[in-house]
Amino acid sequence: MHGLRLKGFAEPPAVAEAVGVDEHTAKSVLDDLVAEGLASYREGRMSGFTLTPPGRADHARLLSQELDRHGVRGAITAAYRRFLTRNQDLLGVCTAWQLREDDPSGDPVVNDHSNPAYDAAVIERLGEIDEWIQPVCAELASSLQRYERYGPRLSHALERLRSGDTDWFTKPMIPSYHTIWFELHEDLLATLGIERGQEEVL
């Protein structure tokens, strides 16, 4: 249920990857959620599962109970506020990766990755952000075990990127660095019961 909440609309492989279970297990649980009216499945050109309104409400209730049961609401809130202080930096680096800023005209142009020096500089900026976010991920993991996968997943995406696979920066259909960062953000919002449109910008 949590993996589907983070993905919004997804097939079992994506949900399985998000929460660290095998695809068969994810599919079985998703089918059970559909049978219980907590999720629905849509077929077509874009097929996938999504939580129903009752499913989202039940999920929110379970997350709130989890925080109270472990007594970690304050710790997760503090980590979330730390996360927000660099969220705009991450978004800026992603923009710099997609739109190259060194064109002679002075205007940003689509980054075709033909300038290795430019790409290396942007990846270096991402590496600095990763060094900063890893302790935040560790802090979250010390509060709730389900946060343990974010740090290693971000590191893996950065390693793939440094090895020359440019897709691992922002491509949405794979667990790229931006994809995982977005999921972490959504996880924090869902866990604390904060609507994305209502969160403050630090």
Q: Which two tokens stand for residue 158?
A: 């950065």
Q: How far apart are CA 88 and CA 94, in angstroms?
A: 10
Instruction: Work out the angle between the directed axes of helices 116-143 and 177-192 (0-180°, nearest 10).
Output: 30
Q: Tell me if 71 sits within 8 A of 183, measured CB to CB.
A: no
Q: Tell me if 89 sits within 8 A of 129, measured CB to CB.
A: yes
Q: What is the dotted CATH code of the domain comprising 2-66?
A: 1.10.10.10
All structural domains of the chain with their residue ranges: 2-66, 71-198
What's the whole-number mean pLDDT along residues 133-146?
96
Supply the Cα-derived Rg of the chain in whole angstroms. 18
pLDDT of residue 201: 56
Q: How far apart are CA 200 and CA 198, in angstroms?
A: 7
E strand spans, 91-176: 99-100, 109-110
Q: Is the pLDDT of residue 202 over 60?
A: no
Q: What is the pLDDT of residues 84-121, one digit of tens each?
A: 999 999 999 999 999 987 766 677 889 999 899 999 99
Chain-centroid distance of CA 60 in Å reads 18
Q: What is the pLDDT of residues 120-131, one digit of tens each?
A: 999 999 999 999
Q: Which two tokens stand for residue 111?
A: 């980054």
Q: How confident is the model at residue 134 (pLDDT cuts 50, 70, 90)?
A: very high
pLDDT of residue 100: 87
Weakest mean pLDDT among 17-21, 87-91, 169-173, 195-199: 195-199
Q: How far apart are CA 122 and CA 44, in angstroms?
A: 38
pLDDT of residue 159: 98
